[in-house]
Amino acid sequence: MTTDARPPGTPQPPPPAPESEPTQKSASLPRQPAPEDAADRLRSALDLVDPGPVLPNTPIPPRSSPIPPVPSVPRPPEIPPLPVGPPKPLLPPEPLSDEPGPLRPVPARRPGRVAAAAICVVLGAGLIGGAAAGTWLDGDSEPAVRSNFTAARDLWHSVPVDTLFPPTIRGTGAGPGGADREWTRVGVAPDGDCAGALDPLLLKVLEPVGCARLVRATYTDATASSVITVGLVFTRAEPAAMTDLANRFTTEKLADRSDLMPRAYPVKNTDAAAFGDQQRASWTVRVLTDAPVVVTAVSGFADGRRIDAPQSAEQATADGASGPVAEAGLGHDAKGIADNVERGLRKKAAASPEPAS
């Protein structure tokens, strides 16, 4: 018998629970798995990595615990192939009979396509019209050229002398180095035939076209250091003969031959008084194909000096040309005056009325 030493009035604790058997307590609780050591955890992590191909004679380390298999994913069902065959027409075929079929709805027109079609039509019409107009103009160009050719034949007596040979000729950029030139007329020769005004050899070369009339005038430059005679030989030839002669001058280079130089026209009591055959320094001869005319020009020094080595205008005005003739600009004088007289002749022929038939 035990005696409780607690003072009276103190509540009594509950009686202790009866102790159970150790075997029963361990049987009622689930068993906890033993913790894996560090080596087993590292081996399990390495097992999840694809080790790659196994080399021969390489031992495979044992796994501490099996890895559950990965469930397989079912493959998607295969799509059946499309049937092979001709495509179905969008619209039923047209009936072969002449009987009218059912009306079909007409799709609405798009404004952009209508505008583009209209532009194409306009452009096509313009191209056709332009081609027709070009053909029409080309057809009319031959009569116009023929008319100018005929009108130029009589200019030597149908226009004033100042029209063919102006009292003053200005050549913009016609001098050496592109300098401006100005020439003043000092005399006009009476019109006549070519027998005494052309060298016999030049007269023989012009024989196929014939010489109807020759008119000439002599000029001097602004410094009175050079003199130039320009001439117009009006022929009896037709366009075909003038074309043949022009081709001969080109192929045989007759314009560069010093024995075919035109003659000078000296004018008494002027700076050109001593301008004769021995003073000829540079020249040009041009056979026109749109007019029955041969244009000539010859230049020399106004002081009357003799020239032993004349140069054609093409040679004296070429790049790098040297010598007294080229350096004095005598080639530019002959070429510049011939250019201006030739342009005036063509302009007057185009403006002349057609001769009465």
Rounded Cα–Cα distance for residues 57 and 42 (Å): 23
For residue 85, how many C-alpha atoms fall within 13 Å in the half-sphere facing its CB?
5
Task: Determine the pLDDT at residue 177.
Answer: 83
Which among 257, 276, 261, 251 has a CA at the least distance from the CA of 231? Answer: 261
Task: Determine the pLDDT at residue 259.
Answer: 94
Task: Determine the pLDDT at residue 133.
Answer: 46
Q: What is the pLDDT along the chain (357 residues), one digit of tens a residue?
A: 444 555 555 555 555 555 544 444 444 444 555 555 555 555 555 455 555 555 555 555 555 555 555 556 566 666 666 555 565 555 555 554 444 445 455 555 555 565 666 666 555 555 555 544 444 444 444 555 667 898 999 999 899 999 999 999 998 888 888 889 999 999 999 999 998 889 999 999 999 999 999 999 999 999 999 999 999 999 999 999 999 999 999 999 999 999 999 999 999 999 999 999 999 999 999 999 999 999 999 999 999 999 999 999 999 999 999 999 999 999 999 999 999 999 999 999 888 765 544
Task: Determine the pLDDT at residue 132.
Answer: 46
Give the chain's end-to-end CA distance (angstroms, integer): 178
Task: Give alpha helix (H) positions in 153-238.
Answer: 155-158, 161-164, 200-205
DSSP H or E segment with residue 312: strand 311-312
> Are the C-beta atoms of 284 and 334 separated by less than 8 Å?
yes
In the sheet that holds 293-301, the strands lie side by side as: 168-171, 181-192, 213-221, 226-234, 293-301, 282-287, 311-312
Task: Determine the pLDDT at residue 279.
Answer: 97
pTM over 0.75, yes/no: no
Task: Determine the pLDDT at residue 111.
Answer: 59
